[in-house]
Amino acid sequence: MSNIVAIVGRPNVGKSTFFNRLIQRREAIVDAVSGVTRDRHYGKSDWNGKEFSLIDTGGYVVGSDDIFEAEIDKQVELAIDEADAIIFMVDVEDGVTGMDEDVANLLRKVKKPVFLVVNKVDNGKRAEDAVEFYALGLGDYYTIASINGSGTGDLLDALVEALPEKEEEVIENELPRFAVVGRPNAGKSSFINALIGEDRYIVTDIAGTTRDSIDTKYNRFGFEFNLVDTAGIRRKAKVKEDLEFYSVMRSVRAIEHADVCLVVLDANRGFDGQVQNIFWLAERNRKGIVILVNKWDLVEKDHKSVKDYEKAIRKQIEPFTDVPIIFISALTKQRIFKAIETAVEVYKNRSKKIKTSKLNEILLPIIEHYPPPAYKGKFVKIKYIMQLPTPQPQFAFFCNLPQYVKDPYRRFLENKLREHFDFNGVPISVYMRKK
């Protein structure tokens, strides 16, 4: 389980640039238009071998300054509640602003590690200017320039040092864990209630391993698993339920704990930005995924509706399209059993181990037929394939020139693995290794 670190602060102080540098993904483009990109707000990072999840609160607020004032306070309160450590970023060019003081007032009461980070300090003059941030009453600060990374090493050393040790969870009964995730009001609670039924076929209600998700042990119809419910997480009076940042933050914890994620969406709203965020979050954490389109009973439909709807979703989740999509109604209990059956299948696919002899027997002839394209006149020869001993499917292809195998060919190999062995709903990792 990794720790969660939240980055808070006013807009345009450089939170996203810093975030991108830490997760080392250039595709989370910093631009002036605020929009939901896949990797905008959540990523994993590690420093000195310690991994942590990073949440950039900056991308979540849209609106004018006065709306912003209220929203930023909410976000800081959420970060205080949910994160294990907080990075508070300010901008040396602007000096101390009223909004910085508001945030500092909230952070001074916190019992968690708070790191005051003065950004855009790229010369000696600015380093002198940074002294005024002592006025925020948060003690020492770190000066960085997130655009070129100077100063981030010292900050990260201190950060990972301060993160609490997460004890590896001891899983007694090894029951599969299914997390029900999705945006607020998509019908997660109704789905769970429909599953559990009024008779409550519950063996135990264990308060979750995290402080905020509830585990319910479920056994019916010959299935036994733990249901990780993000829907019933204690609602804070202060938090408007529709705050995107909140549901993503809750989903982060639930997803990291799960084997399979049931991503619930409202058929009327579609597979929108927030649902996509949650989907990619599960994919990046290499979890099994089942997409549940809820409230299907309320949609006007004809014989093509299901196909068209499904096609639209698959278009948005490319290239990882080998994911089951089930149309359900939690209200009328339509196909909710099919949803669980599918989740169990996906769980089995995720823990599937394929014999090395079988892998080589099936895939080597295909590779011989369609070898990787030659690069600068050099030919890549793949000699041997094996599945790695990891909790989720990862395959190593041993070859003479691994550096010359590009993404399109890796995808070709992944597709062949999917074609011959059922990995429906499960992200696969393909590695090229030197023979």
Alpha carbon distances (Å) from 85 to 66, 78, 114: 27, 12, 6
Q: Of 149, 182, 310, 347, give the one whose Cα is nearest residue 255.
A: 182
Say if residue 404 carries a ligand binding annotation: no
Say if residue 226 carries a ligand binding annotation: no
Residue 320 to residue 284: CA distance in whole angstroms: 11
Say if residue 231 carries a ligand binding annotation: yes
Say if residue 183 carries a ligand binding annotation: yes
Say if residue 391 carries a ligand binding annotation: no
Say if residue 121 carries a ligand binding annotation: yes
Phi and psi torsions of 28, nearest 5° = -80, 80
Say if residue 15 carries a ligand binding annotation: yes
What six digits make up the tokens of 415?
A: 């597709």
Say if residue 230 carries a ligand binding annotation: yes
Say if residue 119 carries a ligand binding annotation: yes
Say if residue 124 carries a ligand binding annotation: no
Say if residue 229 carries a ligand binding annotation: yes
Say if residue 266 carries a ligand binding annotation: no
- What order of strands is seen across the sheet that includes strand 214-220? 202-207, 214-220, 223-229, 177-181, 260-266, 288-294, 325-327
119, 150 contact by CB (below 8 A): no
Say if residue 49 carries a ligand binding annotation: no
Beta-sheet strands, E only, within 371-417 = 382-387, 394-399
Say if residue 11 carries a ligand binding annotation: yes
What six digits make up the tokens of 401?
A: 């020139």
Say if residue 166 carries a ligand binding annotation: no
> Which run of H or of E encompasses 257?
helix 244-257
Say if residue 280 carries a ligand binding annotation: no
Say if residue 235 carries a ligand binding annotation: no
**Residue whose structure tokens are 């900056």:** 58
Residue 420 to residue 36: CA distance in whole angstroms: 35
Say if residue 57 carries a ligand binding annotation: yes
Q: Is the preceding omega at residue 319 within 30 degrees of 0, hence cis? A: yes
Say if residue 422 carries a ligand binding annotation: no
Say if residue 296 carries a ligand binding annotation: yes
**Runs of H (alpha helix) within 46-177:** 65-82, 98-107, 124-129, 152-162
Say if residue 59 carries a ligand binding annotation: yes
Say if residue 189 carries a ligand binding annotation: yes
Say if residue 104 carries a ligand binding annotation: no
Say if residue 81 carries a ligand binding annotation: no
Residue 360 to residue 366: CA distance in whole angstroms: 10
- Write down how long the chain is: 435
Residue 423 to residue 260: CA distance in whole angstroms: 13
- Enumerate the known binding-site residues for GTP: 9-16, 56-60, 119-122, 182-189, 229-233, 294-297
- Enumerate the known binding-site residues: 9-16, 56-60, 119-122, 182-189, 229-233, 294-297
